[in-house]
Structure formats: structure tokens, C-alpha cells
Amino acid sequence: MKRLCETVGFLVFVQGAAGLLHEWLDWFSFFSVVQRVPFIGDYSLFACIVLVVAGAAVMIASDAVKE
């Protein structure tokens, strides 16, 4: 269970980081899921920041999970 939480947290973190790179440098347009969600619209930068923070929080919180 701990490994699953770490993996999910890492994937969420990577999606947020790829979205930020796409917003700032126009890279990773094929990899970021945030740009493909139509209802986010103009809030994609905020959504990417939330994904980065949430991914980091899940990875940190996975230490509390017992195996």
C-alpha cells in the first residue's frame, strides 16, 4: 500500500510539473493531461500548481502508511 501511494503521488507530481513546463516554456504538450480537460479553461496554471503540491503531499504522507 505504501508503494502504491508513493507511485500515485509521483504520477500526480509529474503531471503537475509537465503542465507547468507546458504553461511556461510550451514543452510537454503531449504529456500533460491538464491541457486536455476542457472545463479547467483559464485555470490551468492554478490546476498544475495544485497537482504539484498534492503529489508532494501524497508522497510525504505515504511514510505514515504501514505496510
Query: 6-65 pLDDT, tens per residue?
Result: 999 999 999 999 999 888 888 767 777 888 888 988 898 999 999 999 999 999 999 887
- According to DSSP H, which parts of 1-67 are helical? 2-25, 44-61
pTM over 0.95: no
Tell me which residue range forms the domain holding 6. Answer: 2-64
Let me know: does 21 contact 60? Beta carbons within 8 Å: no
Question: Quick one: how far is CA 10 from the chain centroid?
Answer: 8
